[in-house]
Amino acid sequence: MTEVLLRDRRILVDGRPELLLAGEVHYFRLARADWADRLDQLRDCGGDTVATYVPWLWHELPDGSADLTGRTHEQRDLAGFLDLAHQHGLRAVVRPGPFIMAEVKNEGIPYRVYDEHPHLLPITWDGAPISTRTIDYLAPEFLAAADGWYAQVMPLVAERLAPRGGPVVAVQLDNEIGMLSWVTNSPDLTDGLCSDFARWAVERYGKDTAATRIGADPADPAAWSATLRTPVEERSLALHDDLGRYMRDRYRRYVTALRTSAERYGVTGVPFLVNVHGTGGGRGRTFPIGISQLMESYRGQPQLTSGSDYYLGDLTVTNVADLYVSNAFLAATHDGDQPLTCLEFEAGNGDYGEDLSTLYPPEAIDLKTRLCVAQGNRLLNLYLFAGGHNPPLAEPVSDGNDRIAFTGERHGFAAPVSPEGHLNPTYPAARRALHAVRGVADLLADGDEEHDGFALGFVPDHYLTEYHHPASSNRAEQVAELERFRGMGARDVLARALLLAGYSFPAVDLQTRAPGGAAQVPGGMPPVVVLATAPTLGSHVQQRLVDHLRAGGRLLLHGPLPTRDHDGTPCTLLADALGLRADGWLEGGPHYFPSVVGRGWAAGPAEVRVGYAQLLTGPGERLLIEVGSGRACGVEVTVGAGRVVMIATDYPCHLDFWRAALDRLGVRPRLRHDASEPGLLLTTTVDRSGQRLLHLVNVAPSAIEFGLWHRDEPVLSGRRLRIGARAGLMLPAGIRVGPATLLESSCELVARNGSEVLLRPTQAEDVAVFATDRPVHADRGEVTVADGRATLTARAPDGEPIRVSIG
C-alpha cells in the first residue's frame, strides 16, 4: 500500500519526496500486443510513470453501456493496460476527462450527449452559435452525463489506486478547461449561463450596481442576456471584466463538481490534477491567460494541484524566458503544499502536420527538462511519448474517416516513438535528459530553487483578456495595450534581461493576499518587486505597491504609468504616490525614431533607439532622457522609506543596464560568470539538508567558456568551464557520499550508492573535491590529498563515467 500526498510543494510517496518522470501512452491507439513494448521503451527512456487519457467517446457503446475491460475491443481494456503497467514497475496518471482533447472528435464527448441535449451547444457573442463543440460546463444535463461517465470509469480506477496496492498515483479532472472558448473568442452565453451570471453579479455588487456595470436589469432575463451577448460600448470594459471574473468562479465550481463525483465513486487518497493551457506558436506569452482562467479552480484546494501544458518547440534566447516565467507565474498561484507539475511536456520533433514544415532539434527536450526541474517541477509527462493508430468509431457518423480522431489513421507521428514503434532522434535526446535527471532525482524531488532577493510581479487580471466583443473598440484597445506591456514587459525585454543577466527569481501574485494579509508568495512580499506595468492596473494592486514602498520596499517598474482600473475607472494611486505625471507619448514608426540616452548610473556609451517613450514630470533623479525633447522617460524616486526605478520606455536588452538598475535597488546576484556572450542561465537548488545542485543552461547556438563565482567565491578554485552549444549541466555541491562530502565537481552525478558515486565527465579535464578523512579511490585519474580534502583530477575523452569509492 502506497500513500501519495502533496505537501510543502513536494510529491510525497510513502512520506518521501519523489520526482515522477512520465510518458503519455494511449492504450486505445495501440494493439494490445504493442502495450508491453511501449512500456518497456518508456522504462528504458528513464520514465517511471505512464500517463494516459481515457476517452469517454471510445469506451461508451451504442447501447449506452461502457466497456473498460476489453469485452468488445482489446483497445478498450483500460483495466488490462493499467495492470500491465503495474507489472512493468510503472506508476500511472489517469486522465478520464470528460473532455480530453488529444485530437479526439468532440474532444472526447460522445455524440449522443449532443444528440440528446442539443441546447448544450452554447451560443456566444450576438447570439451566434459557437464554432467549437464545447458545452456549458455547469448545465445540469451535462453534469449528470459526466457523473454517469465517472460512475463507470472511476470505480475501476479506484481499485487500482496506489493506496490500495495499484499503480495510479494521480487523477486529472477534465482537460484544458475554458481553452476552446478562449482561442475562438466565443464565451459560452447560454440562457442558463446568463441567468447564473446575473445571480453572481447581484451577489457581488448588489442589484443596482450590477445593472449599472452591465447596462441591463439583472431581473429582466431577456434584456440581461441580450446585453451580455451584445455589450453597450460605454459599459464594455466593465462587462468584459465581470465576465472574466465570473468564468473563473464557474470553472472553480465545475472542478469542484467533478472532484465530488470522482470521490463519490471511490477515488480518494491520491492527488487530483487540473491542466492549465496557453502556450502556442513556440511561445508562452499567453500561458498566463490559462492561469488567470483556472487559478481559482486549484488554488488552496487540498490534495489538488495544477499542471502545465508546454508547447514551446525549441528553447532559445527568444523563448527561454517564456518557460521560466510561466513556471514562476504558475507557482505564484499555488499554496504552500501545491507543487509544480507539467502534464503535457512537449517531447516530439514538432512535425504535427506531417508536412515537414517544422523539425525541432533533439537537444530542445534536454534544455527544457533541465530548466523545469531546476524550478521545482515534480512531475514531467512527456507528451506524446508514443504514437498509435485511431480505431474506428463504434457507430459511423459519415464525417470522412469515421475514426475517433481527426488526424487520420495514424496519430502521434511526431512522438519519440512512432505509431509503428520506430524511434526518431528525439528518443535518445529524451533518454539522455531523463537519465541525467534520474541521477539526482532525490536531490531535485526535495530541493527548492534559490533566488536573488526579488520577485517578478504577476497580475492575473492583466491576462483577463480571453474575450473581446468584435465590435467593441474600447475593449480591443485595452486588450492590445495589455498584450504589449504585461508580464514580461514590452518586447519581453524585462524578463529576458533578468534571466540572461544571471538572476533567478520567483513571481509574486500581487492581487491575492494569503491569510494574514501577505501577498501570495512563500515568505510574504519580497523586499524588491519587479513589475511590467501598463496603463491598466487594478486599484487594489496599485495600493499594495504603494503600501510596499511606504514600508521600505523597492520597485523596478518597466512600462507606462498606470492610470485606470480594469473596468475603465480612472485610478492614479501609484502615480500619485510617486509624484509622477505622464506628459507626452512618443511612438516610433517607419519614419520616426525616438531615442534615449542615460544619465548617472544609467549612462552608457551611446544613445539607443526605442519603440516608445512616455515623458514624465515630477520629482526624482532623471535616468533616461528622450533625445528629441530633452525630457525624462526614466526616473528614480524615493517614496517614504522605499525607492522606485521607473523605466517608461522599452529600453533594449542591454544586460549591464538592467544589472545596474537592480544593483541600485540593492539586489546582488549570488551567482555570476564572466562569459562574453549571452545565453547562459544560472540557478541553484538546495534540499532541506543543504545539498545543492548548480544548474547551468546554455541556450546560445555556440559554446560558452566562463569562470564562475558563487557569493563572490570562485567555483572549482577558479577553474574555467565550458558548456557546448545548447547544452546544460547540473553540478553537485555539498553532496553526501557515505562518510564523505562531495564539495564540488565539474562532473554530473550519475548515481550514488552508499560510499560509491558515479560521475559523468563534462570537461576536457574534470575535477571532483571530497571532504573526508578516508581514502578516495577512482577507476581513472589522479587523487591528491591536502588539508582534509581529496581532489580527483581526470581526463575522460571517451566520456565514460568515473567510479569513485570512499574508504
**pLDDT tens per residue across span 361-407:** 999 999 999 999 999 999 999 999 999 999 999 999 999 999 999 99
Cα separation, 615 vs 557, whole angstroms: 15
Cell of 277: 493551457
C-alpha cell at 731: 553540478
pLDDT (0 to 100) of residue 482: 98
- 463: phi then psi, degrees, rounded to nearest 5: -110, 15
Of 504, 483, 440, 523, nearest in space to 692 by CA:
440
Instruction: Please report, for residues 136, 290, 393, 512, 617, the alpha-carbon distance to residue 251 in angstroms, rounded to integers and kept in the order given.
Output: 11, 11, 30, 18, 44
CA distance 739 to 462: 53
Q: Which residues of the chain have pLDDT under 70?
A: 513-524
Instruction: For residues 497 and 261, give the distance between their C-alpha atoms in angstroms, rounded to a whole number.
Output: 46
pLDDT at position 513, please?
62
Q: Is the dihedral of CA 732, 735, 740, 743 positive or negative?
A: positive
Give residue 797's pLDDT: 76
Residues 6+ apart with CB under 8 A from 365: 346, 347, 382, 426, 429, 430, 433
- pTM, two decimals, is 0.97
**Percent of the chain that is helix, strand, coil (3-state, to 5):** 30, 30, 40
Cell numbers 585519474: residue = 781
Q: Is residue 390 packed enough to be buried (19+ CB in 10 Å), middle (13-18) or exposed (0-12)?
A: buried
Give kind and range of the element (H or E) at residue 42. Answer: helix 32-45
Residues 6+ apart with CB under 8 A from 662: 454, 498, 503, 528, 530, 556
Reduced to 3 states (helix: H, G, I; strand: E, B; else coil), residue 409 is coil
Structural contact between residues 142 and 136, judged by C-beta atoms closer than 8 angstroms: yes
SS3 category, 426: helix
